[in-house]
Structure 1
Amino acid sequence: MKIINSTREDISLIFSLYDAGTLLQKKAAQKQWLGFEPSLIEKEINEKRLWKIVEGDQIVCVFSIAFSDPAIWKEKDSDPAIYIHRIATHPDYHGNGYVKHIVAWSREYATENQKQFIRMDTGSGNDKLNNYYVSCGFNYLGVIATDDSPELPAHYKNGTSSLFEIQL
């Protein structure tokens, strides 16, 4: 298993993983992803912030990182942190603990980049997912209300999100 940067050649597979993730969310969660602009994915690839987990020659999981997330984290956004977004696992590889691998990788990446926190959020109301993130090492910080901020993807608008954090 290796974690490496995604490339433009991965874009169609990345979107198929997002589609599969959305289907899973529809079964288990109160809110789902509502699609992502290709320009966002291209930007993250160009900025080397979209990562893939590869087993053999198969992309099994993707995730992105950001260095700020003010629309969600408000005043805490000034803390030195990385933010994990859009984890999507290939349906044939669910249950292989990739979030734990992402956390281990993030600890190293954050330390190398002088960050003190690893943060993420997810739609609130999915206790099973919340408990899984806690089992991966995150502290559950509670639920926040999101507004109609233009910098937020559509699935965040006027909803609630659960916040998670690891302090290094």
Structure 2
Amino acid sequence: MAMHIIPSELQDLQLIFDFYALAVAHQKRVFNRHWQDFDPDMVQAEIREQRQWKVLIDNRPAAVFATAFSDPLIWTEAEPVSAIYLHRIVTHPDFRGRNLVQSITDWAVAYARQKGLSFVRMDTWADNDKLLKHYTACGFRHAGTVTPKSKGLPPHYAGITLNLFEIDVREAAG
């Protein structure tokens, strides 16, 4: 199995939104919340800035995810933190069970080290115990909860509480 994580390209926009649709369908089956529509202009900007990624397994798209280098609407710190933030990880149903979140996490730790960043961070709904266990099993430390102001965030953030997760790259194995 040859796996590669590479930047998405503008011609991947439909693929990314197809993956988001698959994720929403799955979320509706297994949980009481689901993502709302994402702004195509936001995703195009992420692609142009090389912050939208795809995971290829044997040259087939297996997962997509986005990154950011700040997340002030969720991580409301007084001082900026040197971190890469993972967002919207979606695994195609054909590739579930291959622990791609762990592969993405390992990639993010290596990427953070290469860029001189101190943390890998992510968030998810606070009432999703399954994801809490999954992310901590991937090496993330639960870093608390937050109820963000939804202004400026996608619609599914309205009125929710999030679990925050992080890996201190300086302490991570590898």
User: TM-score under structure 2 normalisation?
Assistant: 0.92
Query: How far 1:16 moved relative to its partner?
Result: 0.8
Moved over 6 A (4+): none
The residue that corresponds to 1:82 in the other structure is 84
Displacement after TM superposition at 1:76 (Å): 6.2
Counterpart in the other structure of 2:120: 118
Q: Which residue of structure 1 lines up, in the alignment, with residue 52 of structure 2?
A: 50
Q: Quick one: distance in 1 between partners of 2:66 and 2:150?
A: 22
Structure 2 residue runs of 5 or longer lacking an equivalent are 170-174
Structure 1 regions of 5+ residues with no counterpart?
none
Residues 33-59 of structure 1: CA deviation (Å, up to 9, x unaligned)? 101111011100000000100012210
Match of 1:104 among 96, 103, 106: 106
1:3 alignment partner in structure 2: 5
Aligned residues: percent identity? 41
Q: Which of the two has greater helix per residue?
A: 1
Amino acid of the structure 2 residue aligned with 1:109:
Y
Secondary structure, counterpart of 1:9 in structure 2: helix
- Whether the 8 Å CA contact 1:63–1:85 is kept in 2: the answer is yes
Q: How many residues align?
A: 167
Matched, 1:136 2:138: yes
Letter in 1 for 2:17: F
Q: Distance in 1 between matches of 2:71 and 2:147?
A: 15
Partner of residue 160, structure 1: 161
TM-score normalised by length of structure 1: 0.95
State how far apart, in whole Å, the 2-side matches of 1:56 and 1:19 are.
23
